[in-house]
Homo-oligomer: A and B are copies of this chain.
Amino acid sequence: MSSLDSRLPSWRHGPRRDAILAFIDKVTDPDSPCYVAPADRIATFDHDGTLWVEKPHVTEITFIKDLMQHDEIRQKPRCGTILGFVRHYLAVLMEKVLSDARWLLREWLDGVSTDEYKVWVQQWLNKATHPKFNRPYPQLVYQPMLEVLALFRENGFRNYLVSGGSCYFIRAFSEQAYGIGPEQALGSQLMTRVAEKDGKLVVELKPVPWFLDNGKGKVLCIESHIDRHPVAAFGNSSGDIAMLRWAGQAKTSLCMLVHHTDDIREYAYSPGDKTLKAAADHGWQLVDMKADWLEVFAVTNGNSTSG
């Protein structure tokens, strides 16, 4: 079957490509015992490291660091600036990414509307380039995963992003990059409040973490926003284990981890022993980026852009 058809052109013929195509074929075949009704065709995808590059830093963190330099942000009143900068750079040096981000959010995001934040993200994505690949981040989405998203969509699936990053970041570009609208782009959240500005209601961010969409949080997020059991899930790290277990509890399911094995075309790093053990215990497929992907990054303008 799979050796003759033209689906998933950036995937090398082999067990991972076969597994995806076989899954699609059986869940959409009304005569198969594994048939899944269209309403229940839900697929969930981690974002960083699963749909696009996450090294040397998670892109949203790079964005927030750049945001600090933005005139509009710098003009916002803030306190403790010098101490803040010292703490900031110490945090970066120590790679304490989370506490770094938390501090930045507290300093600058209070009172920013979600609409303003979205514009900042879009402006940044239009100009920022990746240090290793020297191209805009939206061009560093994985071509093979774009093909998986399209294959699922063509077969009646609804694709959801379930990102550990904030929903305010991914919703600014998920529709353009992945064909996934904001209502299907889920992520971590800050508290928000409704405020009046010029006689109109606006939704403003509050610098208070409200929901961390990682680990078991991904299951709670799926329950809260979708309330249907995903039948397919893709991830790449320990933060995705619970989501893959959740999808794996469906009668028929496809659970895959992207394993970063290609230090030439992308990066090579391990998801960690806990994740590898979970994959072995539950029989999840490991996508070997180096061996399985003929292209890595999005193919644009008819040219290969795979590294």
A181 within 8 A of B: yes
A182 within 8 A of B: yes
Q: Are A201 and B114 in contact (CB under 8 A)?
A: no
Q: How far is the CB of A170 from chain B (nearest CB, A)?
A: 10
A261 within 8 A of B: no
Among candidates B183, B201, B242, residue contacting A228 with C-beta atoms closer than 8 Å: B183
A225 within 8 A of B: yes
Interface residues of A in 160-204 (CB under 8 A from B): 167, 171, 175, 181-183, 185, 189, 192-194, 200-201, 203
Contacts A167-B227, A194-B242, A224-B192 hold; do A203 and B183 have CB atoms under 8 A apart?
A: no
Q: Are B219 and A181 in contact (CB under 8 A)?
A: no
Q: How far is the CB of A173 from chain B (nearest CB, A)?
A: 13
Q: Are B246 and A201 in contact (CB under 8 A)?
A: yes
Q: How far is the CB of A104 from chain B (nearest CB, A)?
A: 22
Q: How far is the CB of A277 from chain B (nearest CB, A)?
A: 16
Q: Are B39 and A223 in contact (CB under 8 A)?
A: no
A245 within 8 A of B: yes
Among candidates B181, B185, B194, B224, residue contacting A220 with C-beta atoms closer than 8 Å: B194
3 nearest CB pairs, A to B: A182-B227, A194-B216, A203-B223
